[in-house]
Structure 1
Amino acid sequence: MKNYELVLRRVEADLAAGRLRLGERLPGERTLAEQLAISRPSVREAVRVLEAMGVVRTATGSGPEAGAVIVAEPASPLTALLRLHLATNHLPMGDIVQTRVLLESWAAHQAATRYLSDDVEFKELVASAEGLLDRMDDPGLSPEDFHLLDAEFHVALSGLAGNVLIAAVMSSLRSAIHGYVLAAVPNLPDWDATVVGLRTEHRGILAAIRAGSADDAARLITEHIEGFYRAARLSTPS
């Protein structure tokens, strides 16, 4: 389950139980992190997604107006996001691939630019993405488990751009991405060779981001997405 979903479930449960009301503030970042067993940077990312969905409004500072305030019941924005999620399952794979290239190449470019800054929180998120790659190095992973982590990695990369709407759209595409990628596995001539190549390409993309090489990061992620599409003989994206 994605981190923002954990926070969203907590908000829904607290609203239903009367522990939260519209206009009240979410528990503090540290409290949520401890209660949900996720990191504080993950809580901050989750709150940003909830803000993009229209569930909360945030204000910076340390006074009484600071924090994340509940401004809408989760049902309405969640329904809109779910509708987008379901719609993507019926889109042509080529359209999904083109959308991924558009969003992820831009996100990788932005992430590489951000890495040159002194944003400690951002670099913690990069380290979390690298942790997913470490988990993908497990030789015992099934294709399904590998591609679940693969989809998680690509969503994490998109989140590095710092644009909460891009992050929300990519999260909604996660199931569709995993579905078409997993369906493509039988078309691959050599899964073992493919997975080695995918690991290498993932590391190359992240290395370009860490180096601040924005153009290289965008190019590598485009080649990575389109290359898998071709290797699986799903046709060539136009």
Structure 2
Amino acid sequence: MRTHQLVLHWIEGQLSEGKLAVGGRLPAERTLAEQLQVSRTSVREAIRILEAMGVVRAGVGSGPEAGTVVISDPTAALGSALRLHVATQHLPVSDIVQTRVLLESWAASHARPDSPELTGAAGLLEEMDADGMAVDDFLALDVRFHLALADAAGNAVVSAMMGSLRESITGYASRLTANLPDWDTTAARLRAEHHEILDAIQNDDGERAAKLVAAHIEGYYREAGVRHSP
């Protein structure tokens, strides 16, 4: 095991045993190096890895923001990894779309009608209904709308995975608009479908909401030329 992996293993153990928790701070770099009998370079390398994984945030200097603080942002790491693997074309966009359909259908069927996230989703739809909205602005609101629906299901893992999947294909969704015959027509259809999905969830009709979400996602990518096998 390389020395920075020893540091990672120790921190994982501290988290698993409850000796470290979100909001807690790691020992100072020198202290941790002496405690684990590794170099400070190994400690720094381990902390850089944990930062990239969204597990810690490292602050410099002195004061309340100094030191390495434990956080929890799994979406950042998963999203970055997926984007890179999609870029290598090892993970086809069509497969990611299909996975998104599976997750979002589940989330829509389990979303709580009284969830406060649905109020936020409704507000996003009001913004999306504005005339003359730029394509990228529309797609940015679309991302937030779908994430709000996923959050309404109350499953932290699904929310994190959804955020990662959406992040990994947001750029593709934007570029695919060039393949659409008429963006204004597509945008009008997407708006109407958004309202139908939200209405179904608010009416506690999870089965219908799941079917609407699947048709909504597949319809956009099919229109834009992305195919996937069911």
- Sort the TM-score into its range (normalised by shorter chain): 0.5 to 0.7
Q: Which residue of 2 aligns with 1:104?
A: 104
Q: Taking structure 1 as reference, are residues 23 and 94 closer, same or farther at Cα in structure 2, changes over 3 Å only?
A: closer
Unmatched runs of 5 consecutive residues or more in structure 1: 1-21, 27-52, 56-71
Deviation track 1:196-227 (CA, whole Å, cap 9, x = no partner) reads 00000000000000111111000000000001
Change beyond 3 A, Cα 1:190–1:24: closer
**Long gaps (5+) in structure 2:** 1-19, 25-53, 57-68
Q: 1:129 to 1:54 in 2, by over 3 A?
A: same
Give me the CA root mean square deviation: 2.7
- TM-score, length-scaled by structure 1: 0.63
Tell me how far apart the structure 2 counterparts of residues 100 and 170 of structure 1 sit (CA, whole Å): 7
Counting aligned pairs with the same residue, the percent is 45
Larger radius of gyration: 2
Total equivalences in the alignment: 168
**Within the alignment, does 1:84 sit opposite 2:76 as a pair?**
no
The TM-score normalised by the length of structure 2 is 0.65
For residues 1-238 of structure 1, the aligned pairs below 5 Å read 73-74=70-71, 80-81=77-78, 83-87=80-84, 89-90=86-87, 91-111=91-111, 114-115=112-113, 119=114, 122=115, 124-238=116-230
> Helix, strand or coil for the counterpart of 2:222?
helix
| Cα distance in structure 2, aligned partners of 1:24 and 1:82 | 21
Q: 1:79 to 1:131 in 2, by over 3 A?
A: closer
Structure-2 separation of matches of 1:136 and 1:231? 20
Cα distance change of structure 1 residues 75 and 192 upon mapping to structure 2, 3 Å threshold: closer
Paired residue secondary structure (2:70): coil
